[in-house]
Structure 1
Amino acid sequence: MDLTLTDEEREIRDWVRTFVTKELMPLEPQVLERERDGKRGVTLDEVEALQDKARQSGFFGIQTPEAYGGMGLGAVMNALLEVELGRTFVPFKFGGDADNILFEANDEQKDAYLRPTIEGTRRSCFAITEPGAGSDARNIRTSAVRDGDEWVINGEKTFITGGDVADFTMVFAVTDKEKGADGGVTCFLVDREAGWTSTEIPTMGEWGPASLSFQDVRVPHSSILGEEGRGFELAMRWIGKGRYLLPARALGSCERLVEMAMEQAKNRVTFGEPIAERQAIQWMIADSAVEIEALRWLVLSAAWQVDHGADSRQAQSMAKLAGGVHANQIVDRVLQIHGGMGYTRELPIERWYRELRLLRIYEGTDEIQRRTIARNLLSGHASVRGHLG
């Protein structure tokens, strides 16, 4: 793998690094203060204003194909930019993106859903998880029954990211019980005006998922995304769209946290000398540095495989697993190095502590990643010698 950046790629990475430093990090005290008062750290209007500022410099649709007005950057560059964004806890992503499965829409649906989502005039959410179907996505119970030229949807979805602000959803429902997940699940594009409702779910972190309720929600047959009965394939494509990006953002957080820990270790004096002179502290920093570097190469290896059209599922599962485990170990060490101050809400460490804990649960739990990794190895679909054989 040659991961040497071109001059253009380096300029892109450096621009994002500067944007994070000058535009996002100064907002951190404000974000912490608002969140302590139970408010949203950054309002949707403020995020859009930041996105507009980035767009003026050409940063719009990082992953979106150029044919749709985006930058169409590759996986490695996307991973590197996520690392930079991860160095702050200010919630932000560049505008101009849409869920990957929305590109499967027909021309009419693209005009109604895809293009407005890219432009930011519409907001979507992906609804497959249910109270009884989390990691076991094949166990969904939400149903859609054909009634003439319409479908009637009934069921509940839970832990849906963006569900409380979305004006339409990509909801997955069983349309043929006999066929099960393989041929019996369909994805529907459903406007909020059709009648589904949402309720925000309070969490220990700042992630604000929602539960969605569908009670006799009627949609036309033309609202099917893709093909009838092929929804589970779309769902798996959405879930696997970029698991390497989650640990990439966590990687940036870990870099910033360890920098904070080193600064604290140099300045905090006990028994006449900085705690940086204590072997216990040095080992915490050393272990964290090794884990950061290992995670960096797991993330970049997965991204490189995506860019080269290789089967990256094993690499992405490894990166996702390592990201969750190592990020939680690192933030715990950083809090320990800061002592009592690290446990207070005066510093952002406890906030990162809560935020990074989510990485071990959503988009595939640690247990699911281990299951995937082990099954791939035991079945012969992957080798402990890696993708190079």
Structure 2
Amino acid sequence: MIDFSLTDEQRAIRDWVRTFVERELMPLENEILRREREGHVPGLTAEETKSLRELARKSDFWGVDTPEEYGGMGLDPISVALIETELGRTFASFRFGGSADNILFHANEEQKERYLLPTINGDRHSCFAITEPGAGSDAKAIRTRAVRDGDEWVINGEKTFITGGEQADFTMVFAVTDQEKGANGGVTCFLVDRDMGWTSEPIDTMGERRPASLVFQDVRVPHENILGEEGQGFALAMQWIGKGRYMLPARALGGCERLLGMAIDYSRTRETFGEPIAERQAIQWMIADSQTDVEALRLLVLHAAWQVSQGMDSRHAQSIAKLFGGVKANEIVDRVMQIHGGMGYTRELPIERWYRDLRLLRIFEGTDEIQRRTIARDLLKGHVKVGATLS
């Protein structure tokens, strides 16, 4: 018998985050929408984010996925997925403090003191820089070069669509250090402080996220700033990318649940021709299809998280969850907008905001096409057997 129940701890964590979202984040939504209509930067302000993180920390909610030895909660992957789902119930993008990129834990002791610990404490801010103008989903095609000059490396190149690139004071940048070896053995990850010379420029998008382009022009980096081993950067990059791809559809799941609830409430009160539109079969089918998609997505996300918690190779399951989540989240928000009619299309309601934000899920951190390629390749090459996902 398969047990789909949550542990008492997981249930308590989920409920605490849901209460936090409802009490602290949702009340800010109207103000966020008002600021955006007036042309201000989308989302929470830096001051609001800091205040919310400090409030959560008073309840010992800090570093949800950070090991306890570094002052975090050290929660299991399923609990972290549940947290992402609850945070997804609001479009006010927020993450609890006290976390750091997983590959930073590969830093040596001196690097941990300079980069990892300050990041966990919130004193420093990082960004992961691998995507380039000509090397998006094909990470092996990166052109940024690092040439050794004595005890330093000179980096030249450009990165693009870098999340947090405008706010970061240091970056984990991937550069080719041995052209002949290619990705496997010829790419190295460097920890590069902003004051070493790289610059950033924000990229305007249709949603809240404002990634950045990073430019490296003769940026000199000490040899001691190599993260991990020289030439083994691509393996680190894949570890970063594969850490939590299921977290993206997990957050979308929360948004879909909230949106579906809005559609149900609206259909009960909006009347046409003398009765609520909830009585119309067309509306009922949209609601039924959306609920079916939500429950299927929930199982895909939790299954991928469960595999991670068991130490299994979860990349195939994560690709399935991300693909399904991206496609279905966009279908759900479209149905919800359709149910709301003209009101759903206005900027008075958050539906159009979610409409723009959820569209990104089909693009970043691996497009739908890349996920399909991964899934098909795994099957065709025999890496994964049909029907063997629970074995």
Letter in structure 2 aligned against 1:249: R
CA–CA distance in structure 1, aligned partners of residues 310 and 209 of structure 2: 33
Shift of 1:324: 0.1
Which runs of structure 2 are paired with 1:7-86 in the superposition (5 Å)?
7-40=8-41, 41-86=43-88
CA–CA distance in structure 2, aligned partners of residues 107 and 2 of structure 1: 41
Q: Deviations over 1:18-48 (max 9, x none)?
A: 0000000000001111122222331112101
Given the alignment, which residue of 85, 106, 109 partners 2:108?
A: 106
Match of 1:240, SS state, is helix
Q: Which residue of 2 aligns with 1:385?
A: 387
Q: Deviations over 1:260-307 (max 9, x none)?
A: 001111111001111000000000000000000000000000001110
Q: Which residue of 1 aligns with 2:192?
A: 190
Say whether 1:126 aligns with 2:128. Answer: yes
Match of 2:243, SS state, is coil
Match of 2:231, SS state, is coil
Given the alignment, which residue of 253, 257, 261 partners 1:251?
A: 253
Q: Which residue of 1 aligns with 2:94?
A: 92
Deviates more, 1:4-13 or 1:118-127: 4-13
CA–CA distance in structure 2, aligned partners of residues 44 and 3 of structure 1: 38
Shift of 1:363: 0.7
CA–CA distance in structure 2, aligned partners of residues 367 and 202 of structure 1: 24
CA–CA distance in structure 1, aligned partners of residues 217 and 288 of structure 2: 55
Q: Which residue of 1 aligns with 2:5?
A: 4
Q: Which residue of 2 aligns with 1:334?
A: 336
Shift of 1:90: 0.7
Q: Which residue of 1 aligns with 2:156?
A: 154
TM-score (norm 1): 0.99
CA–CA distance in structure 2, aligned partners of residues 230 and 314 of structure 1: 23
Structure 1 runs of 4+ aligned residues shifted over 6 Å read none
Match of 1:152, SS state, is strand
CA–CA distance in structure 1, aligned partners of residues 3 and 57 of structure 2: 30
Which runs of structure 2 are paired with 1:359-374 in the superposition (5 Å)?
359-374=361-376
CA–CA distance in structure 1, aligned partners of residues 217 and 128 of structure 2: 18
Return 5+ residue gaps in structure 2 as ranges. Answer: none
Return 5+ residue gaps in structure 1 as ranges. Answer: none
Deviates more, 1:306-315 or 1:185-194: 306-315
Match of 1:350, SS state, is helix
Shift of 1:12: 1.4
Match of 1:77, SS state, is helix
Q: Which residue of 1 aligns with 2:351?
A: 349
Match of 1:72, SS state, is coil
Given the alignment, which residue of 281, 287, 290 partners 1:288?
A: 290
Match of 1:234, SS state, is helix
Q: Which residue of 2 aligns with 1:266?
A: 268
Alignment: residue pair count: 389
Shift of 1:8: 2.4
Structure 1 vs Structure 2 CA RMSD: 0.8
